[in-house]
């Protein structure tokens, strides 16, 4: 019953936020980086964040989530609040990075740190190295999720997929809470979007994925690579795009439209088509993790698959200098 209530809460809050933003002309204007063509409200992530935090609180007070995990996830509210103001006032990159760094450290502290990096043939258990890695992972996941929130239904569908995959693999009410919180918003965002989630939603989702990854990796070190495979579509695109832009000598802080999903829309693919192909690719990644017992094999195959997809996208729209 609680999940139905949370779904309705997310759905209703998104509806009222959409109408409020339209009435007050608080719209995401079309610019050189935009993949949309019509000014659209961008505060839907507020509804997602509120629903997520309400659901987390319910799980905590009914003893359905461990305290350290709850606290680590709850720290994400800081990211949402700062991102809310960033959506409105465009805060400086330096301030955003300071906040992200503080949140990453707080999240790691709540989890008790990151214990071990497993590489199959060897592992790293030096706590300085593992926690620096974990810190960088959190900050990178926050930012890359924000980078890949650009077309209708894309970021929301990724979060819904990860919530479903996480629940099927690990169980836990937190995945159901995330799923219904995203689903209520996604009704208004999928296909012909009536509202976007904005940074307030995308940065929170990136943070959540990072905490999921580290929490389950602390339980079993190979789980790190399971989450890396599941999140492959987003981190592979964001990371490879960043590397290629660096090799091109581009200013990395400058806005661009070179991510894979952006280039597909430039190649005249509809937002609906791009998002659905992403969902299909995600399902393939999940099936590999689910049916292939050796995570090293799953990870290797996933890298090859994602690289082949990237080559296909290059053939549709070149990665220009």
- Residues in the chain with pLDDT < 70? 25, 28-37, 321
Asked whether residue 112 is assigned to any structural domain, the reply reads yes
Report yes or no: 194 and 22 within 8 Å, Cβ to Cβ: no
In a domain, residue 321? The reply is: no
User: Which residue range forms the structural domain that includes residue 128?
Assistant: 2-316
**Is residue 34, in this structure, part of any structural domain at all?**
yes
What is the number of domains present in the chain?
1
Q: How far is CA 253 from CA 29, 147, 190, 195, 249, in A?
A: 20, 12, 29, 26, 12
**Confidence (pLDDT) at 3:** 95
Residues 66, 198 contacting (CB under 8 angstroms)? no
Rounded to two decimals, the pTM is 0.94
CB atoms under 10 Å from CB of 142, counted, come to 28
Cα-based angle 162, 163, 168 (whole degrees, multiple of 5): 95
Q: What CA–CA distance (Å, rounded) separates 133 from 131?
A: 5
pLDDT digits over 4-23, tens only? 999 999 999 999 999 998 88
Specify if 53 maps to a domain.
yes
């Amino acid at each position: 019953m609680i999940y139905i209530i949370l779904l309705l809460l997310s759905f209703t809050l998104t509806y009222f936020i959409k109408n409020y933003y339209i009435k007050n002309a608080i719209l995401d204007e079309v610019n050189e980086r935009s993949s949309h063509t019509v000014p659209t409200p961008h505060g839907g992530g507020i509804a997602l964040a509120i629903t997520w935090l309400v659901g987390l609180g319910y799980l905590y007070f009914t003893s359905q989530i461990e305290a350290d995990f709850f606290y680590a996830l709850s720290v994400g509210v800081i990211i949402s609040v700062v991102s809310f103001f960033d959506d409105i006032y465009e805060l400086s990159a330096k301030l955003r990075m300071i906040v992200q760094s503080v949140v990453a450290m707080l999240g790691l502290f709540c989890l008790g740190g990151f214990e071990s990096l497993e590489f199959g043939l060897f592992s790293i258990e030096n706590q300085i190295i593992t926690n620096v890695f974990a810190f960088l992972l959190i900050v990178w996941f926050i930012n890359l999720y924000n980078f890949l929130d650009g077309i209708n239904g894309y970021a929301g569908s990724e979060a819904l997929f990860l919530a479903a995959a996480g629940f099927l693999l690990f169980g836990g009410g937190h995945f159901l809470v995330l799923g219904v919180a995203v689903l209520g918003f996604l009704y208004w965002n999928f296909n012909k979007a009536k509202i976007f989630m904005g940074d307030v939603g995308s940065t929170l989702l990136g943070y959540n994925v990072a905490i999921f990854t580290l929490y389950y990796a602390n339980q079993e070190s190979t789980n790190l690579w399971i989450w890396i495979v599941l999140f492959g579509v987003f981190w592979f695109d964001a990371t490879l795009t960043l590397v290629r832009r660096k090799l091109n000598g581009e200013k990395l802080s400058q806005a661009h439209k070179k991510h894979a999903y952006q280039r597909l829309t430039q190649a005249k693919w509809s937002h609906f088509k791009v998002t659905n192909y992403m969902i299909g690719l995600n399902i393939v990644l999940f099936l590999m993790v689910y049916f292939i017992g050796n995570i090293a094999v799953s990870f290797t195959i996933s890298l090859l698959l994602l690289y082949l997809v990237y080559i296909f996208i290059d053939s549709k729209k070149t990665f220009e200098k």
